[in-house]
Structure 1
Amino acid sequence: MGAFAGLLVLLGVFVGVVYATTEVPDPGSVQNSQTTVVYYADGTTEMARLGDENRTNVSLAEISEPARQAILAAENRNFYSDPGISFTGIVRAAWNNLTGGSTQGGSTITQQYVKNAFLTQDQTFSRKFQELFLAVKLDNQYEKDDILENYLNTIYFGRGAYGIEAAANTYFGVPAAELTAQQGAVLAVLVRSPSRYDPENDPQGAQDRWNLVLDAMADEGWLADADRAASVYPPVLPKAGSTLGIPAGSEGLVVQRALAELEAKGYDEQQIRAGGLRITTTVDKPAQDAALAAVADVMEGEPEGLREALVAIDPRTGAVRAYYGGPTGAGDGAIDYAQAQRQPGSSVKPYVLATALEEGISVTARRDGSSPQEFPDRPNLPVRNSGGASCGSCTLMEAMTRSLNTTYYGLAYEVGAEAVRQNILEAAGLPETWAPTGSILDGKATLADPETGGTGASIGIGQYEMRPIDQAHGFATFASGGVEHEPFFVSRVTDSEGAVLLEFAGDAGDQVFPADVANDVTYALTDVADYSRRSLAGGREVASKTGTQGLNAQDNSDAWMVGYTPSLSTAVWMGNDSPNDPIETAGGAIIYGSGLPGAIWQQFMDTVLEGTPEEDLPNRPVIRGDTGEGVPAPAPAPRTQTQSPSTSPPSAPAPQPETDEDTEQDAPDQQTQVQPVPEQPVPVPGTGQPGTGQPGAGQPGGNQPVPNQPSVPGGQPVQPGAPAPDDTEEQPTG
């Protein structure tokens, strides 16, 4: 007992000494914000500077009382009576530190001010401990009104507005002195997460929290019951054109991905925008330059309406080495096509093969690749190969190289569409269901019909949409021997003094495919580049797959080239803003995966890999299972068909520049749908998100961009009333 008492005395002495020696800086001398710098992977080449753009400090008397009360109601109702710290917050921080949880949350306004104004953004228990002593001492040395005034001038409210005066002007066009309780509640909601609760980004979420703030004000007696009942959400000004320091060029999209990643790790906007962070990304400057050069060189003279995306990932770690989502990174016209949900065509066939390999079906197994073919799940709606290609008994490797739709539709049917779906989800790290975002896809199954939640065998020929980053991710899983690593953009974060806040070299990875399956998928893809005339320089070994999504019997909507070595996985996509518009070259020729996308992929890979050691790929399969014709799965119950049988495709179109197209030229079947073709909207400039959607009415396999729609993971807005994917799955793709 005496020993315990002695420990308490020592603890008391320690606390007393620390308190006495803690110096509180003069709030008037504090620099309210510091510039955050974003670097390329070398840690020295700057990509962007994010700093103070809009600030006007005001006295507390120049801030309306209802606005002050709204902030207090949202953040710290007991501000004027507490000692500057929250004892429950201290206990929670200590517990979270012991259990590995977050050290954030539950802070008083005084603590928040101390963290933002005086301390680094280090999210550690020691920083939290220091925050507590400073908060207590600040509370003892300064009046509460002085602390609140400085706090309100320090907060970042989003849209580049630092402090409540700038926020009042930015959101409502009035000075802080004129803010109403209802307007003040809008700003109070923004304190926790300015971008998330911006009413232009999430109107419903912002209004829900606004109601909670007003309820709290009423509970405290700061808002009369009659005024609370009569309160309506005030009109908010639209966002201005400020880029908030995000570069206007293509690198701005990299910065946005990096910042979003930090937010997901718990960094708030105050820390990111005004915390003086030094953020090192994973993106290599030479690789990024190579991506820009490949797009510029190949697309010179091509139609301006064509859109491109390129994502390159290190399969060993998940680090994103190059990222091109479009030429505009911020402001008007900023759309990130690397996040666009588009139909991948035949570039999904490796996942079908992986599923078959898991079932013991070898890459040397033979299946019927004749064309056309009917399948039990789609009577009277035959699947066809492009260009008249047909093979009565091809191996799965041959069918992969020649991109035979009938073989891989049949194989997906044989092994089960749901099994293929699960393999894609695991390889590309996709969620089982869409995360809640306010769109009509909330909670809906990924890679499935949003109405029924079912997945058909057309998944084997690319019916269900994926993003370019998903394909680079999924193929990287094959490249790493079946180990899936989550892609990431940020490798290191320090404060302005150099203290390391975050160091990340990738996750440990999950073995989602057996090594022998990954080996044999890679082996099966080794002939595609040569067959498509996209071999790499010096005969470097590479595994790859083309993909072309048909729009109708004459046109294509999307074209892909995806491939990898053990050290680099790269996906290239090409399309239009509206997936219902055909993609053509300047000469009017149809674009296929091995055409312009293939040329971009080839130039990029050759440039980045030049001078690096050549890496061997598998030269033989290791799974020696079924090599026969296979046994078809039982036919599922027939379902209602909404499309008429297809007609024969035309002969193969003219070849693309630099390549004599192979059977990857999947001229899709003409389909007839009962719905009329709606007018096609265009993507919303300045959102940073692609305007894509579900397959569009009247066009087999087409999608529609939908402006101003909330996005599911990856930024896929949804077109209400669009037909379900199963209604449009009948067209063969490439």
Structure 2
Amino acid sequence: MRIDFPRSGRDGWTRWLPSWRQSLAAVAVALIAGAVSFVVAYAVVSVPSPSDLASAQATTIYFNDGKTVIARVADANRTSIPLTEVPDGVQKAVLAAEDRDFYDHGGFSASAIVRAAWNNFRGGATQGGSTITQQYAKNAYLTQDRTISRKAKELLLAVKLSQTRSKERILEDYLNTIYFGRGAYGIEAASEAYFGKPASQLSTAEGAVLASLIRSPAGYAPEDNKDRLVGRFRYVLDGMVYKGWLSQKRRDRQRFPVIVAKGKGNRLSGDTGFMVDMVRKEMATLGFNEDQIARGGYRITTTFDQGAMAAARRAVDDKQPQSGTKGLRIGLAAVQPGTGAVLAIYGGDDYLKDQFNNATMGLVQAGSTFKPFALAAALEQGVTLYDRFTGINGTTFTFDGFQPYKVYNEDFASYGPSISLLTATSQSVNTAYVDLEKKITPEAVVDSAVRAGIPSDTAGLNAGPTTVLGTSSPHTIDMATAYATFAARGLRASPFVVIKVQGANGGVLYQKRPEVTRAYEEGIAADVTTALQRVVTSGTGFAAQSLGEPSAGKTGTTNSNLSAWYVGYIPEVSAAVSMARSSPSGGLLSLRGAGGLSRVNGGSYPARIWTEFVRNYLDYLASQQVPRVTLPPAFTNGGNRTGSPRPTRSALPTPTASSTPAPKPSSSPTVAPTVAPTPTSTPPP
């Protein structure tokens, strides 16, 4: 078939003009080619899984009930929620702001595209003409470049999304990925950032504010452009009325809501940051890296008990010194005996002001709180609580390999040439305990301390004449852990804060298996408990009597009053309280003058804080109807010890499933800074 072109029978340039038949055929061919190209492109293009950025979710850290949120941790602040948790009024506000015909079109709006193109051609403000489906396709799968090829792919994806996913699914995904400003991706994070509450509690007016921000989070930022935001807010509400989603009467009642100040809702303030930091570090030891934590959407259940944390905070606030507090550092750690679960910590007043955790990072000399480790070692060697040692002040002792060592008691008090070990413990007599140490060897004291739970690499933990008097510097949490061994009748449990890690889909990635070993025979631990109960009933720990029930504990104070301790336990909890004062350069200063006292002993503020904490915690347990655990019986029959059944324990975390290890971390956790004292010769009780 011959095509008549150029056309015969015509002269000049007109012979190059196609006939109407030729024009119609060309248009038909172009349309067919375009249709074929679209079909091919539609078939070829796939709907991929959202990019890592779009699917990244905040990791949520919970208290030990697995329900109450401690904090959310994220690289991009994002937490996905189902559409059912977004109030209908909030959904409609978003549609009124961004895509009023969302439920009527097939993924794109031809009229909106033409309108945006005409506006751009005339030199007006750049418009995208994108529907919610297109915006979601662009945010989840594509680059943000404004190119023809990217726009074409956006249209194809939008159409395919509309064909393969329900409108509800598209809207849900959109609400979980769109950026609202203040670092918040998704409606849940935005609700927290602007109104300090979850999206499920948003009002229609609050939803209209968030919907107004989508178009330009910076351009409508309430702290910089509130007037513009209010105007956009009104536009959204009027759009809801226009679409029949809001009555005019209800519209007239809507008022611009109060927005929380930027940064005021920081979830790391107060105690929260200390807990989160401990969780991060333990997760690293379990093989989870920072990127996984920030973007993996994990659910981390911790050992932290909400009631115990509140009890610790209230105890320190109520019982700490009110004067002479410059540079004062107070640390508190509470561990559950028998499991090692860290129930509470007090690391400082506010993590945002000072990230140094006094419960886990501070190093101060233990003083006489170290004596129970020597007591346990002596009992193992056949010494009884009624064996006698010297109480004469200023006694000089000689240890192999060391210079003669002259020992003084607190206030230079003398207790006579022969006192029982029970009395030496209750009155914290230095000379008697150094006499005991000489009998059993300093190495036995170190070994006992390590078995109880004091790390072997603790600063100053060396075998020598002063070991028994606590010249080493453990962390507060180490002392709580070690005394928990006595409370658990000789069973040492390694401390931990992570009970369980679940993935974003709910699958269990890690389950804690308690690490429990026997450090002492039950009878040995029971004798230690008997002696430490005497410290409370008739010794230096008398302040704990105000608890109104049996407890066991030990005071500790060091030379120059550089630190003061109280460590004690009841069956439910072992807790340690340390006090020290740091200089601007990080060294330690004397505690003298704190609270108006010329000398801060372990039996003063530390014992008061400990007692108040335990009282508050027991009140909380009673309010939760948690059954009590009785103190184990003591064995004090001159070394002929007999066992007895271990009391039933209402363990808070009961992780019994075997752990599923995660991949090992590529690098070791960062070592935290410490405040370490200079060892002194003879710490007082």
TM-score, scaled to structure 2: 0.57
CA positional deviation for 1:424? 0.8
CA distance in 1, matches of 2:677, 2:536: 30
Per the alignment, residue 628 of structure 2 pairs with 613
Q: How does 1:479-518 map to 2 (within 5 A)?
A: 479-504=487-512, 506-518=513-525
CA contact (8 A) 1:469 1:571 kept: yes
CA positional deviation for 1:307? 1.1
Equivalent of 2:407 in 376, 383, 407: 383
Q: How does 1:662-681 map to 2 (within 5 A)?
A: none
Q: Which amino acid aligns with 1:334?
A: Q
Equivalent of 1:278 in 274, 280, 299: 299
CA offsets, 1:675-714, max 9 Å, x none?
xxxxxxxxxxxx994541251xxxxx4xxxxxxxxxxxxx
CA positional deviation for 1:516? 1.4
Pair 1:624 & 2:624 matched: no
Gap change, CA 1:619 and 1:349, over 3 Å in 2? same
CA contact (8 A) 1:361 1:625 kept: no
CA distance in 2, matches of 1:251, 1:427: 29
Gap change, CA 1:253 and 1:410, over 3 Å in 2? same
CA distance in 2, matches of 1:31, 1:464: 51
Q: Which amino acid aligns with 1:615?
A: T
Gap change, CA 1:620 and 1:534, over 3 Å in 2? farther
Q: Which runs of 5+ in 1 are unaligned?
A: 1-22, 56-116, 119-159, 163-241, 434-445, 627-686, 696-700, 702-727
CA distance in 1, matches of 2:49, 2:435: 74
Q: From the two aligned structures, give the one with the greater helix fraction.
A: 2
CA contact (8 A) 1:298 1:600 kept: yes
Per the alignment, residue 578 of structure 2 pairs with 573
CA positional deviation for 1:530? 2.7
CA contact (8 A) 1:516 1:622 kept: no
Per the alignment, residue 268 of structure 2 pairs with 247
CA positional deviation for 1:374? 0.2
3-state SS in 2 of match to 1:457: coil
CA positional deviation for 1:732? 3.3
Q: How does 1:532-551 map to 2 (within 5 A)?
A: 532-536=541-545, 539-551=548-560
Equivalent of 2:527 in 520, 523, 541: 520
CA distance in 1, matches of 2:440, 2:331: 32
CA contact (8 A) 1:336 1:689 kept: no
Q: Which amino acid aligns with 2:544?
A: S
CA distance in 2, matches of 1:243, 1:382: 57
Stretch deviating more after TM superposition (490-499 or 288-297) = 490-499
CA positional deviation for 1:537? 5.1
Q: How does 1:354-433 map to 2 (within 5 A)?
A: 354-377=376-399, 381-391=405-415, 392-428=417-453, 430=455, 432-433=456-457
Q: Which amino acid aligns with 1:268?
A: N
CA offsets, 1:420-466, max 9 Å, x none?
11111121151x44xxxxxxxxxxxx4547xxxx5212110011111
CA distance in 1, matches of 2:434, 2:471: 11
Q: Which amino acid aligns with 1:319?
A: A
3-state SS in 2 of match to 1:525: helix
CA contact (8 A) 1:346 1:461 kept: yes
Q: Which runs of 5+ in 2 are unaligned?
A: 1-45, 79-139, 142-182, 186-262, 642-669
Pair 1:49 & 2:102 matched: no
CA distance in 1, matches of 2:529, 2:504: 45
Q: Which amino acid aligns with 1:459?
A: T
Q: Which amino acid aligns with 1:559?
A: A
Pair 1:256 & 2:251 matched: no
Q: Which amino acid aligns with 1:329?
A: Y
Q: How does 1:145-184 map to 2 (within 5 A)?
A: none
CA contact (8 A) 1:559 1:593 kept: yes
Q: Which amino acid aligns with 2:536?
A: A
CA distance in 1, matches of 2:371, 2:682: 15
CA contact (8 A) 2:543 2:604 kept: no
CA distance in 1, matches of 2:366, 2:474: 6
Per the alignment, residue 124 of structure 1 pairs with none
Per the alignment, residue 476 of structure 1 pairs with 484
CA contact (8 A) 1:468 1:573 kept: yes
Gap change, CA 1:486 and 1:279, over 3 Å in 2? same
Gap change, CA 1:28 and 1:484, over 3 Å in 2? closer
CA offsets, 1:589-639, max 9 Å, x none?
31110101111000011111233526134344255289xxxxxxxxxxxxx
Q: Which amino acid aligns with 1:304?
A: T
CA contact (8 A) 1:316 1:567 kept: no
Q: Which amino acid aligns with 2:633?
A: P
CA contact (8 A) 2:526 2:634 kept: no
Gap change, CA 1:274 and 1:375, over 3 Å in 2? same
3-state SS in 2 of match to 1:421: helix
CA distance in 1, matches of 2:673, 2:386: 40
CA distance in 1, matches of 2:316, 2:344: 12
Per the alignment, residue 217 of structure 2 pairs with none
CA contact (8 A) 1:536 1:605 kept: no
CA distance in 1, matches of 2:500, 2:61: 10
CA positional deviation for 1:251? 2.2
Gap change, CA 1:381 and 1:360, over 3 Å in 2? closer
CA positional deviation for 1:28? 5.0
CA offsets, 1:201-221, max 9 Å, x none?
xxxxxxxxxxxxxxxxxxxxx
Q: How does 1:187-202 map to 2 (within 5 A)?
A: none
Gap change, CA 1:493 and 1:414, over 3 Å in 2? same
Gap change, CA 1:481 and 1:586, over 3 Å in 2? closer
Pair 1:312 & 2:334 matched: yes
CA contact (8 A) 2:494 2:515 kept: no
CA contact (8 A) 1:50 1:245 kept: no
TM-score, scaled to structure 1: 0.53
Per the alignment, residue 733 of structure 1 pairs with 684
Larger Cα Rg: Structure 1 or Structure 2? 2
CA positional deviation for 1:346? 0.2
CA distance in 1, matches of 2:574, 2:451: 17
CA distance in 2, matches of 1:262, 1:557: 34
Pair 1:692 & 2:675 matched: yes
Per the alignment, residue 233 of structure 2 pairs with none
CA distance in 1, matches of 2:405, 2:284: 48
CA positional deviation for 1:566? 1.9
CA contact (8 A) 1:367 1:394 kept: yes
CA positional deviation for 1:54? 9.0
CA distance in 2, matches of 1:625, 1:614: 26
3-state SS in 1 of match to 2:616: helix
How many residues align? The count is 417
Q: Which amino acid aligns with 1:541?
A: P
CA positional deviation for 1:581? 1.0
Q: Which amino acid aligns with 2:600?
A: I
CA distance in 1, matches of 2:562, 2:372: 21
Gap change, CA 1:39 and 1:54, over 3 Å in 2? closer
CA contact (8 A) 1:516 1:623 kept: no
CA positional deviation for 1:355? 0.8
CA contact (8 A) 2:501 2:510 kept: yes
CA distance in 2, matches of 1:400, 1:333: 37
Runs of 4+ in structure 1 deviating by more than 6 angstroms, as ranges, are: 242-246
Per the alignment, residue 601 of structure 2 pairs with 592
